[in-house]
């Protein structure tokens, strides 16, 4: 398997793993020095901060499902156009997201997601 195929497999497997709603189980996908940056927020630096951040997402919702609409790979970099759907009580909110993943030695070393923070704020206020 080449670098591009391996990078795509790792990212697709990570996205599918969100349905399990278990942040600790996702540790296997990341390098120890991973940087996970939701661009409107401060980055999570290192695997422990990344897992804690994901766990925070899981704590605020009953479920989170990632649908990958488009995926492009160049070497070890994977670009995704996704719809991340959160279920918070009676609210089901779909969030359009563009993501960039960098893969090193079969694990994600950098992950940047770009989305509209106003949509997250609206989603959370609907739950309040």
Question: How confident is the model over 65-83, as pLDDT tens digits?
Answer: 999 999 999 999 999 999 9
Each domain of the chain, given as residue ranges in start order, spans 3-127
Q: Fold for 3-127, please state it.
A: Nuclear Transport Factor 2; Chain: A, (3.10.450)
Q: pLDDT-based confidence at 40, cuts 50/70/90?
A: confident
- pTM of structure: 0.91
Provide the pLDDT for residue 19.
92
Provide the pLDDT for residue 93.
86
User: For residues 83 and 85, what is the distance between their CA atoms, to the nearest angstrom?
Assistant: 6
pLDDT digits (tens, 9 = 90+) for 41-51: 999 999 999 99
Lowest mean pLDDT among 13-27, 62-76, 107-121: 107-121
């Amino acid at each position: 398997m080449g670098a591009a195929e391996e990078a795509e497999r790792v990212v697709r497997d990570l996205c599918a793993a969100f349905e399990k709603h278990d942040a600790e189980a996702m540790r296997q996908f990341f390098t120890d020095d991973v940087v996970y940056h939701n661009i409107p927020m401060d980055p999570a630096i290192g695997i422990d901060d990344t897992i804690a951040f994901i766990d925070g997402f899981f704590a605020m919702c009953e479920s989170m499902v990632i649908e990958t609409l488009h995926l492009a790979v160049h070497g070890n970099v994977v670009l995704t156009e996704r719809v991340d759907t959160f279920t918070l009580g009676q609210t089901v909110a779909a969030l359009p997201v563009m993501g960039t993943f960098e893969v090193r030695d079969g694990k994600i070393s950098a992950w940047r997601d770009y989305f509209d923070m106003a949509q997250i704020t609206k989603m959370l206020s609907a739950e309040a």
